Structures are given as C-alpha cells and as structure tokens.
C-alpha cells in the first residue's frame, strides 16, 4: 500500500463499515498499489484524489463522462430541473421529450423506458424478450459483461444454478458457435444479447464482424427471438445511433446507460415496434426511475451529441494517443497491443501473461498524473484537449521507460490470480 495518508485513513474506516472495504468494480484491490480508492473532485478531463493528487482520467467514471466532468451546459439543465422538481409523485413531462429524442436518434427504436443502471436496462431487456416470445433461453457471448444481477454477474457467490439455468453462452464473432448455441437451445430462445464490439476485461478487444452481426439478426428472425444490443458501455461513443447501425444491423432492443446523461443517474431500454406490447405488459419500476433532473441532463447531453463534433474529436484525440503510444512502445522496445475503437482503447502489454508489466506501466503512469487501467478498456471524453493527450503521452513515455528498465524483475500480481484465462 502506498503511504498516502488520507486515502489510507479512509480505507481503514471503510474496512469497518463497508463489506470488503469496497465492492464491485470500485474495489481498487484489483488495481496496482498506489491507486487511490477515494476521490475528492472531478472537472473536465481531470480527477483529484483525497490526497490532492491530480490525474488526467482515462476511465471517465467507467464511461459516463462523455463531455467532461461537470459539463456546464448539462449540469445547468440538471440543476434547473432539480430546483423545479426532481423526485415527485410522478414523472415530469420531460420524460416524454426524452423518449422522443432517443427514438428520433436511434434508428431501430420506437419506444423508450427509463431506469437507473445498465443492469436495470439489460435485465428489463431479458424480461421483455421472455414476455414477447413466451420462451426461456438467453444467449450471451462468453465473457461478455451485461451487469451484476444474478442472471449475469461474473462472480458465483450467492448465485443459484437456477438463476443461470436458461443462460447459454457462445463465442463472440463466431457464426458457427452461434448456430450451435441456437441448436442447443432448441425452440426456446427468448433473446440474444450482443455486445456492440468485444469489450471484455483482461483481453484484447475485437470489432464486430459484420457477417456475425448479420447472422445474429438472421437467427433471431428465424426463431422469433429478440436481438438485444447492450450499448450500456459503448453507447454514443461509436455512433450517434445504436452502435450496430455502423454495421447496418438493427436490433429489436437496445440497453443504454453510462454516457446518456454525462454521469447523471439514468439508463434506458429502447425498443422496436414489434416488442412494444411485451414491454407494456411487464411490471418494472423503481423509486428513483422517474427522477426528472437526470432526464433533463440526458436531454441536454443528447442535444450536444447531435449538435457538436464530439465524436469526430474523440476519434482524432484517440488516434493521436494510439499513434503516440505505438511510437513510444517501439522506441522503448516494449511490445504493446492496442485494440478496439481509439476512443475506447484497451492497452495491454505484450509478453505479459499475468499483467505484471501492465501493472507497473499503469502505476508509473499514475505517478506521472495519468489514471490508466491495466486490464479494462478505457474511455476518452470530449473535454480532453490536444494538450491533455500530450500530457498523457508524457506519462506513458515514462511508464514504457520503466517497463523497459524493470520488466524482467517485476513481482507477480497475486490479486489477479484466477480472474483471467
């Protein structure tokens, strides 16, 4: 553990009152020593930890930060609605405007329902698919993350075999294995979950093979199952539409969250006409699902998505980062694999089967003011500037130099044991 006084003190207090000290993806026990557990402030592209260290943040809150932390335009809309009425006995009419805005932007969508987290939206998608088809099986690519409910959480503790009894897996981008899964499921497939691209932790990312996306659509057409694109992580970072619009495949349902309100808590399930009756038939709700201020923030975020060149800028910035890192890696003789879209990069070091080099690389980058992740994809945001990319590259240069120097003598990272294949 680093000796950073405030973070260490808060961790000690957390250990007494929060199970495990922290849970889920926020547990920094799976990050290199020295990574902060607690943050004090965030603005634009930057984060400050409780010890006052500032970082350029390549994680963007694990995705929600699309236009910068504290984006003035979005937060002004949020605040205005907050003071007008946020938690009320029923929704604000903004809910209708938000549904209109999303269905106008997302080609396949004719209706929208709102919830809080990505897991709410993916779980609701599964329920709609089962209500629509009267069938049971959900087909999910092996290793794909769709949330933390019993049917999909990656850890087995507390989960019954029954919770997963009707979840079948197959290999992403593998048309033959997809066909095998459909055969195995018999005439009982309710829904097929599709990640927009392969963005699994601990491994290289892979863009979607358009032939595979078309095969998913065809198999659902043939069986009556609903095709569900889980755009919770990638939504609006690849396209101003559903991410599979890029390959010309329209799902029946799509799940959204994270970036749609630039960090304000709201998620959504969007659907095509054919699934409308099923969506109307299920009982889903939540005390906070109708809060008006996050809906106002989402409306403002969608306006910026439509009216700014944020996406093109993310691609330009991401391209600069990728090229810069490739040049540094070559110069330092440290092989690197950079995969996935440049605005959602996965950066893994070569010849690093147990991530010890990646841990060292991330730790040295952190010490130089750049918060990077050693095994999860990262995110760019539109508040980043060319100067931020330069600063990020200065940090990664130091990190590559450190790996080149120390790579042969690094200790293993026991905390990751058993978590990757």
Does residue 132 bind ligand PMP (CB under 6 A)? no
Stretch that binds ligand PMP, among 29-37, 41-49, 182-190, 229-237 (CB under 6 A): 229-237
206: part of which helix (H) or strand (E)? none
Q: Which is nearer to ligand PMP, 118 or 358 (CB)?
A: 118
Q: Which is nearer to ligand PMP, 195 or 402 (CB)?
A: 195
Q: What is the DSSP string of 349-397?
A: ESS-TTSHHHHHHHHHHHHTTEE--SSS-----TT--HHHHHHHHHHHH
Q: What is the DSSP string of 47-98?
A: EEETT--EEEESSGGGTT-SS-BT-HHHHHHHHHHHHH-SS-SS--THHHHH
Does residue 257 bind ligand PMP (CB under 6 A)? yes
Does residue 376 bind ligand PMP (CB under 6 A)? no
> Cα–Cα distance between 284 and 119 in angstroms, integer?
13
Does residue 254 bind ligand PMP (CB under 6 A)? no
Choosing from 230, 241, 352, 397, the residue that interacts with ligand PMP (CB under 6 A) is 230
| Min separation Cβ 269 and ligand PMP, Å | 12
Apex 418 CA angle, 413 and 420, nearest 5: 90
Does residue 200 bind ligand PMP (CB under 6 A)? no
Helices 356-367, 386-406: inter-axial angle, 10-degree rounding? 130
Q: Which is nearer to ligand PMP, 260 or 364 (CB)?
A: 260
Task: Name residues contacting ligand PMP, limited to 69-128 (CB under 6 A).
Answer: 117-119, 122
Choosing from 32, 36, 61, 147, the residue that interacts with ligand PMP (CB under 6 A) is 147
Stretch that binds ligand PMP, among 107-115, 219-227, 228-236, 239-247 (CB under 6 A): 228-236
In terms of Cα–Cα distance, which of 191, 254, 255 is closest to 224? 191
In terms of Cα–Cα distance, which of 378, 385, 117, 356 is closest to 260? 117
| Min separation Cβ 388 and ligand PMP, Å | 24
Residue 183 phi/psi, 5-degree rounding, is -65, -45
In terms of Cα–Cα distance, which of 282, 297, 300, 301 is closest to 120? 282
| 114 neighbors 267 (Cβ within 8 angstroms) | yes
Does residue 232 bind ligand PMP (CB under 6 A)? yes
Burial of 163 (0-12, 13-18, 19+ CB in 10 A): middle
How many binding residues for ligand PMP (CB under 6 A)? Answer: 12
| Min separation Cβ 59 and ligand PMP, Å | 11
Identify the residue whose tokens are 């932390």: 69
| Min separation Cβ 12 and ligand PMP, Å | 27
Does residue 145 bind ligand PMP (CB under 6 A)? yes
| Min separation Cβ 265 and ligand PMP, Å | 9
Question: Which residue has the closest beta carbon to ligand PMP?
Answer: 118
Burial of 201 (0-12, 13-18, 19+ CB in 10 A): middle
> Cα–Cα distance between 120 and 269 in angstroms, integer?
9
Does residue 233 bind ligand PMP (CB under 6 A)? yes
Q: Which is nearer to ligand PMP, 78 or 256 (CB)?
A: 256
| 59 neighbors 377 (Cβ within 8 angstroms) | no
Stretch that binds ligand PMP, among 85-93, 99-107, 227-235, 310-318 (CB under 6 A): 227-235
Q: Which is nearer to ligand PMP, 244 or 400 (CB)?
A: 244
Stretch that binds ligand PMP, among 103-111, 145-153, 313-321, 363-371 (CB under 6 A): 145-153
Q: Which is nearer to ligand PMP, 185 or 266 (CB)?
A: 266
| Min separation Cβ 199 and ligand PMP, Å | 7
Q: What is the DSSP string of 141-199?
A: ETT----SSTTT-SS-TT--GGGGTTEEEE-TT-HHHHHHHHHHH-S-EEEEEE-SSB-
Choosing from 11, 130, 137, 146, the residue that interacts with ligand PMP (CB under 6 A) is 146
Does residue 61 bind ligand PMP (CB under 6 A)? no
| Min separation Cβ 185 and ligand PMP, Å | 22
Q: Which residues of 56-85 are buried (b: 16+ CB within 10 A; e: fewer)?
A: bbbbbbebbbbbbbebeebbebbeebbeee
Does residue 235 bind ligand PMP (CB under 6 A)? no
Q: Which is nearer to ligand PMP, 38 or 62 (CB)?
A: 62
Q: Which residues bind ligand PMP (CB under 6 A)?
A: 62, 117-119, 122, 145-147, 230, 232-233, 257
């Amino acid at each position: 553990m680093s000796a950073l006084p405030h973070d260490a003190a808060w961790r000690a207090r957390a250990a007494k009152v929060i199970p495990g000290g922290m849970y889920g993806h926020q547990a920094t026990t799976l990050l290199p020593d020295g990574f902060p557990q607690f943050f004090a402030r965030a603005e634009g592209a930057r984060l400050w930890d409780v010890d006052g260290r500032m970082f350029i943040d390549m994680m963007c809150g694990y995705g929600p930060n699309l236009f910068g932390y504290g984006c003035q335009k979005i937060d002004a809309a949020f605040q205005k609605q907050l003071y007008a009425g946020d938690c009320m006995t029923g929704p604000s009419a903004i809910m209708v405007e938000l549904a209109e805005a999303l269905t106008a932007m997302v080609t396949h969508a004719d209706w929208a329902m709102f919830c809080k987290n990505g897991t709410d939206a993916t779980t609701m998608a599964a329920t709609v698919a089962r209500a629509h088809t009267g069938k049971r099986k959900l087909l999910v690519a092996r290793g794909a993350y769709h949330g933390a409910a019993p049917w999909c959480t990656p850890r087995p503790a507390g989960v019954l075999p029954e919770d997963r009894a009707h979840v079948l897996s197959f290999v992403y981008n593998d048309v033959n294995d997809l066909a095998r899964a459909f055969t195995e499921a018999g005439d009982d497939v309710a829904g097929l979950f599709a990640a927009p691209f392969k963005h699994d932790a601990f491994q290289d990312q892979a863009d979607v093979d358009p032939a595979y996306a078309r095969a998913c659509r065809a198999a659902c057409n043939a069986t009556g199952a609903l095709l569900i694109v889980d755009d919770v992580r990638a939504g609006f970072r690849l396209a101003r539409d559903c991410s599979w619009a890029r390959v010309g495949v329209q799902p029946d349902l799509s799940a959204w969250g994270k970036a749609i309100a630039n960090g304000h808590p709201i998620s959504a399930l969007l659907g095509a006409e054919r699934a409308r009756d099923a969506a109307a038939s299920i009982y889903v709700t939540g005390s906070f699902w109708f809060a008006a201020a996050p809906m106002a923030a989402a409306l403002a975020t969608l306006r910026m998505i439509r009216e700014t060149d944020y996406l093109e800028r993310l691609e330009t910035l991401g391209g600069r980062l990728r090229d810069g890192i490739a040049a540094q890696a070559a110069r330092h003789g440290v092989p690197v694999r950079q995969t996935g879209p440049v605005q959602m990069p996965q950066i893994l070091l070569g010849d690093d089967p147990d991530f010890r080099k990646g841990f060292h690389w991330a730790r040295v980058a952190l010490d130089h003011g750049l918060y990077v992740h050693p095994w999860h994809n990262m995110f760019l945001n539109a508040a980043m500037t060319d100067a931020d990319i330069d600063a990020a590259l200065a940090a990664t240069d130091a990190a590559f130099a450190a790996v080149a120097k120390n790579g042969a003598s690094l200790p293993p990272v026991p905390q990751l044991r058993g978590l990757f294949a």
